[in-house]
Structure 1
Amino acid sequence: MSLAKSQSASEARAEHVSEPEHDINNTKGWLTWSAFCYMVIIGLSMGLYGYDNNFAAPLVQLPLFIQKYQGPGLTFTLSDMLPRQARNLNLLTPVPLVGAAIGTFIAPAGMRRLGRKKTMIAAYSLLCTPGSFLQLFAPNMAALVVGRFWNYVGISILTTTAPLYLAEFVPADFRGRAIGFCFAGVAAVGVLATTVVWGTEKIKDERQYMIPLAIQAAVPVGLCLLTFLIPESPVWDIQHGRLDAARRTLLTLRNNRADMVDAEISMYQAADERTQASNFWHILDRENLQRTLSAGAILSASQVGGQILILTYATVILVASGVGNPFEITVIISSLQFLGTVIGPFLVDKAGRRPVALVGFTILLLLNLAAGSLGAAGLTSETQRLALAAVFILFGFFNAVSFQSLCFVLPTEIASPALREPTMAWSIFWSYTTAVITTFAVPQIMSADAANLGVKTAYVFAGCVLVTIIWAYFYLPETMGRTVAEIDEMYRIGLPMRNWRGYSCESSNVANSEKADLADV
């Protein structure tokens, strides 16, 4: 090597001493058992939402629960059930979601001041556990609703914190799978919830509904204890100047890959310097508005894609329609949801965000149309009723593969690092707001003394999914494997979302060029 070239190389190294000398995308061999266990514990934090979301509908169908909390003498024939039960469902389902909407405003402040770990511990110990025990020992409907409201404030904080926590634990090319495992935790606990209610339905005393409620109270206690074992988010440590703690955590999470650790610390430090002065409402500034709207849109769209009708009220509809073994079918739906949450994250990270979204949403559109058509046909034959059950089962699977595998990934990816907490809170808030409106409206739309659409309500959601497909084509970005710098660059230049996949980012090219120059030294 010539003296001139040697001097040039030395100068280059001096100029770029703060830059990582290794390719941040070279992530082979990073995953360890400890990192995997941490991800499982964080993913299971979403399980409280999964348990409640899956056991509430079959729980309100249990005869002894009906007698205690909804009044004696209530029958569940198709003509009598929906008009009378709609009032109780509007207390038991939408009202707690108001508490969830409130929780989204608490989460960002907690995450920034306390960190991800302490925020989750506080949600378990101060909100979810007391709320669950109040439900367990509730003497009447009012106390039950208050318990559910209190519990959902904590659940909301967990669902806002957990995806962000996971996104900061893993490399860019593993984000889809890691955050997707949040919903795998949701679905796994959902299977447990529906199976428990199915099993207790045969008990002829108060244990019929007390056992599901007791398990709901025990879960946050166990998860809270497990959370003490997890390290704090390395990104939060970097943002608060705790570089030594961040480096120790990242070395544990990256299998002592010092090259990856140094590259990630440099990347997050640079990103934090660019966006240091940020508050909650900066998410609505002109340069951040498109990111904010896209992050919120995917979560809100998931609430109007049909899951409220077909999943939340599945047992109610199956009982009312005269489908045989409705509790067993609910267990099958939950099991297929779990399978979808296992397959979906791998597809999201291998095939990409946009293909999974566009294909999955199209299938959901067809399933909504099928459910509406079966409702229009009257569900008068056993074949039609079995077909409706099959549609519900397939919907649970494809909804998990598409919406549930994507809706918590994108808000963590497309937000600038300094605005991740408020962007995630904004997205979750509008998701719960949409859910409140939808869960309040569905019983009224279905009710025989109101719109009387019954299962034909699925046509309404089919229209919503069609709008979502059009939106996704134009505004859903392809963020698979992209770093923070690459996402920032593509937003900055206004690159159309449909062109993101094949675009070669300047920031990536510069990093690789610098790496090649240094390798010549």
Structure 2
Amino acid sequence: MAEHKSVVEDPPAPLSMAGPYGGKVSGKPPKRNTYAIACTILASMTSILIGYDGGVMSGVGDYIQKDLHMSDVELEIINGMVNSMSLLGASMAGRTSDYVGRRYTIVIAGAIFSAGAFLMAFATNFAFLLFGRIVAGIGTGYAFMIAPVYTAEVAPASARGFLTSFPEVFINSGVLLAYISNYGFSKLPSHLGWRFMLGLGAIPSVVLAVGVLAMPESPRWLVMQGRLGEARKVLYRTSDSNQEAKERLADIKEAAGIPPERNDDVVQVVKKRSSGSGVWRELLHPTPAVRHILISAVGIQFFQQASGIDTIVLYSPRIFDKAGLKSKDKKLLATVAVGFSKTVCILISTFYLDRIGRRPILLASVGGMVLSLVALASVLEVVNQHPDGQMTWALVMCIAIVLCFVGSEIFPLRLRAQGAAIGVVVNRFTSDINSMTFITLYKAITMSSAFYLFASVAAASWVFFYLLLPETRGRTLEDMEVLFGSYHRWRSVAKKLENKRSEAPNANVPCSNNNISTAGPPEKGQETA
């Protein structure tokens, strides 16, 4: 601790203004921690790989079908294979990040995806291209899991909602980059253009390899390795105050089984505590609170994909073709507008996440998706009833509705470590089913009927979120223990919590109420949502 004696303590905030770590929760918002934001941006760049891989396939589909003589079913397999293999990558990423650290797992993700991108770019037949997709899929699984985990473990409590949305921002940025790449390289000869579209995905991994050298390791991982001195330094740089850094360190030490009085720079930690086995045990035999969290998180992951967002990303040129847009250049240009709308809207939701709250934004976005899907299905049904008519208005409406739909879609909740892997499995598996069956589905029941089906799923998701998902903005760990586990009764529980807090003589002391819940606590370290 000698190296920290010169650090000046922050003066305590008044009780009415104090947050769970000494930060203010009302009045003027705290200044953003620029160092934590920089680390988050670097880590979140991994998510560009996910977005680029999904977006690029929407443009290369027609070209590779013609050049490699592939059928629609083979194209569906190519599109869906990356999701199947990302399950393998996600399951490997949890263990890898525990062994080598979060930072170098990001490098591994980039290296694997880069190899897959090069293989796809030089593919000469369906089998070769499929192998490249398998490798790239493993890389996206790594990226899908590790970026939000690192971000959540580095971000200070006051900006965690803001910073943990960065991976989603970069996923959408990757989609936009892919759409722009598709349009730009479409000017090349068709047998070369799609190869450049796919190969360009290797470039972000090179940037990551350089940028990761400037990133600190996750403080949680450092503590799990017994490297308290290094973890302490990272926490002082990524927290909003020295008090917050101390309390974050105390929580992580408790989760690692390290006595709170141990302040050595290096301590011995029982290896099984850092292997993740305890986390899996808690997930397989959850307390009521953990079970509610899992249901909510898995529900978000399932409904996000089951509502059809990946079909829009992958097959938007086919949707525009059904609406009457036949020019390949114009279809690819329209997809650029889709990517731009998606990216802008996720940026807006990110900046307002902590101000408005996760629940209102989620409910509003899902409501917008339901209306957009119904409108899109209706327009496509009108076009389907008039196959020989030139319906410019329908084409314009179709493009506008797609822009509204992708602008409504957000993804505000992430889990960490092994809990994240469960969510990724559900997300990728559902996306895989949609990607590998959409062409077959719309040929069997018409495209308009397919989107009516997606609309009904989105409507069911709105009901699910309204009933089961509490608002977590500004909540402490102790609040989470009682909010989650009450299921649809969380509103009355939240009201009791507020009443208890207002009656407590010290407003900064979290309240507990045995009459509210007997649920055990979620994993320590997630101090506030």
Do the two structures share a fold, i.e. TM-score over 0.5? yes
Letter in 1 for 2:363: L
In structure 2, the residue matched to 1:55 is: 56
In structure 2, the residue matched to 1:318 is: 320
Structure 1: state its 5+ residue gaps.
Answer: 1-20, 72-83, 413-419, 516-521
Larger displacement relative to structure 2 (206-215 or 431-440) = 206-215
CA deviations on 1:167-211 (whole Å, 9 max, x unpaired) are 111123322211212111112222121011111212225431222
In structure 2, the residue matched to 1:34 is: 35
> For residues 320-469 of structure 1, what are the structure 2 equivalents within 5 Å?
320-323=322-325, 325-378=330-383, 380=389, 381-399=391-409, 403-404=410-411, 406=412, 409=413, 411-412=414-415, 420-447=416-443, 451-469=444-462
> For residues 155-304 of structure 1, what are the structure 2 equivalents within 5 Å?
155-204=140-189, 206-254=191-239, 257-273=241-257, 278-287=278-287, 288-304=290-306
Alpha-carbon separation, structure 2, partners of 1:307 and 1:245: 41
- Specify whether residues 182 and 192 from structure 1 end up closer, same or farther in structure 2 by C-alpha distance, changes over 3 A only: same
Q: Are 1:485 and 2:485 an aligned pair?
A: no
Asked if the contact 2:56–2:198 (Cα under 8 Å) also holds between the matched residues in 1, the reply is no
SS in 2 for 1:496: helix
Alpha-carbon separation, structure 1, partners of 2:404 and 2:278: 43
Q: Are 1:470 and 2:456 an aligned pair?
A: no
Larger displacement relative to structure 2 (100-109 or 484-493) = 484-493
Asked if the contact 2:56–2:179 (Cα under 8 Å) also holds between the matched residues in 1, the reply is yes
Larger displacement relative to structure 2 (21-30 or 155-164) = 21-30
- Specify whether residues 294 and 91 from structure 1 end up closer, same or farther in structure 2 by C-alpha distance, changes over 3 A only: same
Asked if the contact 2:303–2:461 (Cα under 8 Å) also holds between the matched residues in 1, the reply is yes
- What's the offset of the Cα at 1:101? 1.2
- What's the offset of the Cα at 1:254? 2.9
Alpha-carbon separation, structure 1, partners of 2:499 and 2:481: 10
TM-score by length of 1: 0.82
- What's the offset of the Cα at 1:501? 5.6
- Specify whether residues 494 and 327 from structure 1 end up closer, same or farther in structure 2 by C-alpha distance, changes over 3 A only: closer
- Specify whether residues 334 and 154 from structure 1 end up closer, same or farther in structure 2 by C-alpha distance, changes over 3 A only: same
- What's the offset of the Cα at 1:35? 2.4
Alpha-carbon separation, structure 2, partners of 1:25 and 1:358: 31
Alpha-carbon separation, structure 1, partners of 2:428 and 2:211: 27
SS in 2 for 1:202: coil
Letter in 2 for 1:253: T
Identity over aligned pairs, percent? 21
Asked if the contact 2:155–2:164 (Cα under 8 Å) also holds between the matched residues in 1, the reply is no
- Specify whether residues 31 and 359 from structure 1 end up closer, same or farther in structure 2 by C-alpha distance, changes over 3 A only: closer
- What's the offset of the Cα at 1:456? 2.8
Asked if the contact 1:22–1:263 (Cα under 8 Å) also holds between the matched residues in 2, the reply is no
CA deviations on 1:13-49 (whole Å, 9 max, x unpaired) are xxxxxxxx98515166563433222111111110000
Alpha-carbon separation, structure 2, partners of 1:505 and 1:150: 54
Structure 2: state its 5+ residue gaps.
Answer: 1-17, 259-271, 511-529
In structure 2, the residue matched to 1:105 is: 91
Alpha-carbon separation, structure 2, partners of 1:131 and 1:25: 47
Asked if the contact 2:468–2:488 (Cα under 8 Å) also holds between the matched residues in 1, the reply is no
Larger displacement relative to structure 2 (35-44 or 464-473) = 35-44
CA deviations on 1:237-256 (whole Å, 9 max, x unpaired) are 2233322111111122236x
Asked if the contact 2:43–2:106 (Cα under 8 Å) also holds between the matched residues in 1, the reply is no
CA deviations on 1:127-168 (whole Å, 9 max, x unpaired) are 212111111111212111111111111111111111111111
Asked if the contact 1:295–1:423 (Cα under 8 Å) also holds between the matched residues in 2, the reply is no
SS in 2 for 1:355: helix
SS in 1 for 2:214: coil
Alpha-carbon separation, structure 2, partners of 1:384 and 1:371: 10
TM-score by length of 2: 0.81
Alpha-carbon separation, structure 2, partners of 1:34 and 1:173: 14
CA deviations on 1:88-118 (whole Å, 9 max, x unpaired) are 3222111221101111211211122222112
- What's the offset of the Cα at 1:290? 2.2
- Specify whether residues 453 and 494 from structure 1 end up closer, same or farther in structure 2 by C-alpha distance, changes over 3 A only: closer
- Specify whether residues 487 and 239 from structure 1 end up closer, same or farther in structure 2 by C-alpha distance, changes over 3 A only: farther
SS in 2 for 1:60: helix
Q: How many residues align?
A: 461
- Specify whether residues 513 and 58 from structure 1 end up closer, same or farther in structure 2 by C-alpha distance, changes over 3 A only: closer
- Specify whether residues 320 and 491 from structure 1 end up closer, same or farther in structure 2 by C-alpha distance, changes over 3 A only: closer
Asked if the contact 1:174–1:481 (Cα under 8 Å) also holds between the matched residues in 2, the reply is no
Asked if the contact 1:271–1:484 (Cα under 8 Å) also holds between the matched residues in 2, the reply is no
SS in 2 for 1:70: coil
> For residues 2-41 of structure 1, what are the structure 2 equivalents within 5 Å?
23-24=20-21, 26=23, 29=30, 31-41=32-42
Letter in 2 for 1:436: D
Letter in 2 for 1:60: G
- Specify whether residues 53 and 513 from structure 1 end up closer, same or farther in structure 2 by C-alpha distance, changes over 3 A only: closer
SS in 1 for 2:474: coil
Asked if the contact 1:271–1:485 (Cα under 8 Å) also holds between the matched residues in 2, the reply is no
SS in 2 for 1:479: coil
In structure 1, the residue matched to 2:137 is: 152
Higher relative contact order (CA 8 A, sep 6+): 1
- What's the offset of the Cα at 1:215? 1.1
Alpha-carbon separation, structure 1, partners of 2:35 and 2:363: 35
Letter in 1 for 2:441: I
Alpha-carbon separation, structure 1, partners of 2:257 and 2:507: 22
- Specify whether residues 194 and 493 from structure 1 end up closer, same or farther in structure 2 by C-alpha distance, changes over 3 A only: closer
Alpha-carbon separation, structure 2, partners of 1:232 and 1:357: 31
